[in-house]
Amino acid sequence: MSERYVVATRTDAERSLPAIVVFLPAHNEEASIGGVIARIPRDFAPGYRVEVLVIDDGSRDGTVAAALAAGADHIVRFPANRGLGAAVRRGLAECCRLDAAAGLMIDADNEYPPEQIPDVLAPILGGEADYTFGSRFLGHIKGMLIHRRLGNYGFTLLQSVLLRKVIYDGQSGMRGFSREAMEEAEIIHDYNYAQVLTLNLVRKGFRLKEVPIQYQVRTEGQSFIKFKAYMSSVLPAIYREMRRPVKRKTKEQRYARRAEEGAGRRQGTAREQTGRT
């Protein structure tokens, strides 16, 4: 079975605006995904349209139907479960295919606050950062068990040491991306993305900023992350990522790229408007 797209219709007027794409990787999240999508703000950024993309990672329940009923604009369905890393990788690629000026990933499990999407994207839209976290440990956490806290602390500390940069929440499931960060991001394994994505982007010179958020552990469904599988998959991936050479871009190169992209989008919008007159 091949991948399947389900796409809602948008008007020409809506498409004339640059896009912000909010994407949700999801696996068997029928109980929660509709509530998350319904709470995603659509009008927080003047001059942009906000679209919702779901990457359905081989769900066997009603995840896709619930997402469509809640107003998802685009859905990519994997025929079988590939892993969270593969879903996030595809989400970033789809954001670029949809010509998004910025993107935001949020877990579909109702633990992260959709209402704070504007906060997490603000540093990117304001030109202060290329890559952002919704940081639980700079904000407020409700209901996280001690073993999960310790696991988060441990992997976050490892990232801080490897990057020689203070990081507070390296495991966050709510992240914002500039267009260039989405284009340049590399996730080298399918199981998970959290550590290798940050190591990859920060080593390439992308500016990271953490934004405090309110976080509450899921009340429905269950986590599909298992500790032994996580450790045996993620630690080797971290090792491989740190051994890979990356090309670090200077600030001047990043600024020049953003200026070119902005000029291209303005020209495209002008051509569309001319064609309709």
Burial 127-136 (b: 16+ CB within 10 A, else e): eebbbbbbbb
Q: pLDDT band at residue 53, thresholds of 50, 70 and 90?
A: very high
Domains of the chain in start order, with CATH, are 7-269 (3.90.550.10)
Question: pLDDT tens digits, residue range 117-137?
Answer: 999 999 999 999 999 999 999
Three-state secondary-structure class, residue 175: strand
Polymer length of the chain: 277
Question: pLDDT tens digits, residue range 69-96?
Answer: 999 999 999 999 999 999 999 999 999 9
The pTM is what? 0.85
What pLDDT shows up at residue 38?
98
Scanning the chain, the segments in alpha helix (DSSP H) are 12-15, 30-38, 63-70, 84-97, 117-125, 146-163, 179-184, 194-203, 227-243, 251-276
Q: What is the maximal distance between C-alpha atoms in the chain?
A: 61
